[in-house]
Amino acid sequence: MDAQDGNQQSQQLILGHNVFLLKHPDVPDIEKVRLKDEVLNSVKSNEMAPYYETLVADKVVELDQNVLDAMRAKNEEEIKKLDEKIADAEENLGESEVREAHLAKSLYYIRIGDKEKALEQLKLTETKTVAVGQKMDLVFYTLQIGFFYMDFDLISKSIDKAKNLFEEGGDWERKNRLKVYEGLYCMATRNFKKATDLFLGSISTFTTYELFPYETFIFYSVLTSIISLDRVSLKQKVVDAPEILTVIRKIPNLSEFLNALYDCQYKSFFLAFAGLTEQIKLDRYLHPHFRFYMREVRTVVYSQFLESYKSVTIEAMAKAFGVTVEFIDLELSRFIAAGKLHCKIDKVAGVLETNRPDANNALYQATIKQGDFLLNRIQKLSRVIDL
């Protein structure tokens, strides 16, 4: 996005998150006053006339025509200067200077929030670019635009493009950066399993500070791992990972959340989980999957508890989780009906009886079901052909 110094997050992505919070119904009004000031200050300082118009259209901020006119005038003046530099480079300088002049114009369009012109200018800059590494940098700029606007189609195409470029060559630093970008895309599109693999593969080589701080990266890595990894893998790759241990205690409730699950301290786990829900709900990438994630985490923890028993009283389970019998009864009945838990409730005796599925039998049943579905499709197709 804008050029980053050291370990600094992109100002545009910070702005994108603040705008998300401004629109969020759960953010208090007093906090929204502060956020609105931050958003307007960021927009004005970066002369973001096109993005300001978008915010006004979305009713995030009120229109101030004088501010808009002033920003437009500055945009026109700066673009005129950049065009003059491009013309001068093409007449008097070499190919690398021409490329740098075009890149400067691309970065300015990105800075002011003009998505279409930024993408168009980046494509033009690419035609002036020969080195694979520099082409990759242009793809990273495009990916940051995609995350700023939450344009998943653009992100997906850019990731595919980056992978094709790596087949021509490319250094390990950029390959490792791409893993984090792809991991964030997978997490934001609910592919938590793949996101886990990509995040955990990048923990020791993390350099994508333009996306988020390292603490946020660890936060995402732990959250995705808990619902994607089995108990043994979780211990090896997350619970005992030195890179995670160095920062996990800086993130409120996260250490308790992870360790309570592994140590089977279910009451502590639920308390830590309650502390994390607000953080998950107010996260720009996780918010759309909040309910799904809540269900998946509860499925994991209930399954882990029941795995130790052939039968257990509902009262004992409720006590272990620090909740009422009525709550656990209602919770389990929903998960059992949805096929998430393999047990049955004996309401009269107040007992839960587990019935662990046979893997081979489950595969057989799935094959039969798919076969029936295929036969039905073939029959429907044959009727259409006969007509």
Per-residue confidence (pLDDT) for residue 3, from 0 to 100: 43
CATH class of 171-303: mainly alpha
**C-alpha distance from residue 307 to each of 314, 341, 365 (Å):** 15, 10, 22
Segment 287-345, tens digit of pLDDT: 999 999 999 998 899 888 888 878 888 888 888 888 888 888 888 888 888 888 888 88
Q: Tell me: pLDDT of 129 over 90.
A: no
**CA 69 – CA 99 distance, rounded (Å):** 31
Which tokens belong to 58?
Answer: 């979305």
Per-residue confidence (pLDDT) for residue 364, from 0 to 100: 75
Indicate the pTM of the whole model.
0.84
Which tokens belong to 296?
Answer: 């998946």
| Assigned fold of 7-150 | 1.25.40
Per-residue confidence (pLDDT) for residue 256, from 0 to 100: 92
Which tokens belong to 125?
Answer: 């800059």
Per-residue confidence (pLDDT) for residue 4, from 0 to 100: 47
Per-residue confidence (pLDDT) for residue 168, from 0 to 100: 76
Range with the poorest average pLDDT among 6-15, 53-62, 177-186: 6-15
CATH placement of domain 309-356: 1.10.10.10
Q: Tell me: pLDDT of 155 over 90.
A: yes
Place of tokens 């955990």: 200
**CA 150 – CA 143 distance, rounded (Å):** 10
Average pLDDT, the chain: 87
Segment 370-386, tens digit of pLDDT: 888 888 888 888 777 76
The helix (H) or strand (E) run that includes residue 103 is helix 95-112
Instruction: Provide the residue ranges of all domains of the chain, joining segments of one domain with +.
Output: 7-150, 171-303, 309-356, 361-386
- Phi, then psi, of 312 in degrees rounded to 5: -150, 145
Do 7-150 and 171-303 share a fold? yes
At residue 387 the predicted structure's pLDDT band, cuts being 50, 70 and 90, is: low
Sheet containing strand 343-346, strands side by side = 311-313, 351-354, 343-346
